[in-house]
Amino acid sequence: MGSLVFTIANQKGGVGKTTTAVNLAAALADKKIPVLLVDLDPQANATSALGIEKEEGRSLYGPLHGEGAALDMIVATDVKNLSLIPSEEDLAAAEIELAQTENYLARLRAVLEPVKASGRFRVIIIDCPPSMGMLSMNSLAAADHLLIALQCEYMALEGLGQILRNVERIKEAGVNAALSVGGIVMTMYDIRTNLSRQVVDEVRQHLPDKIFNTVIPRTVRLSEAPSFGKTIFAYDPLSPGASAYKNLAREISARFEIGGAAPARPPAAIEPPAVPPPASAETT
Torsion sign (Cα): 41, 30, 63, 137? negative
Report whether pLDDT(93) > 70. yes
Q: First and final CA of the chain: distance in angstroms?
A: 42
The distance of Cα 122 from the centroid of its chain, to the nearest Å, equals 15
Report whether pLDDT(50) > 70. yes
% pLDDT > 70, the chain: 91
Query: What local confidence, expressed as pLDDT, does residue 276 receive?
Result: 40
What is the chain's length?
284
Query: What local confidence, expressed as pLDDT, does residue 1 receive?
Result: 61
Residue (of 79, 72, 43) closest to 58 by Cα position: 72
Query: What local confidence, expressed as pLDDT, does residue 279 receive?
Result: 38
Query: What local confidence, expressed as pLDDT, does residue 206 receive?
Result: 87
8 Å CB contact between 84 and 52: yes
Query: What local confidence, expressed as pLDDT, does residue 261 receive?
Result: 40
pLDDT band at 268 (very low <50, low <70, confident <90, very high): very low
Report whether pLDDT(271) > 80. no
Four-point Cα dihedral 271, 25, 54, 91, nearest 10: -90
Q: Rounded distance, CA 231 to CA 221, Å?
A: 10
Q: What global pTM score does this model have?
A: 0.89
Mean pLDDT of the chain: 88
- pLDDT, tens digit (0-9, with 9 covering 90-100), for 97-151: 988 888 889 999 999 999 999 999 999 999 999 888 899 999 999 999 999 999 9
Q: What's 97's DSSP letter? A: H
Query: What local confidence, expressed as pLDDT, does residue 233 receive?
Result: 97
Show Cβ contacts of residue 166 under 8 Å, excluding neighbours closer than 6 positions.
132, 137, 140
In order of start, what are the domains of the chain with their CATH numbers?
Answer: 4-256 (3.40.50.300)
Q: 280 or 27, which is more confident?
A: 27
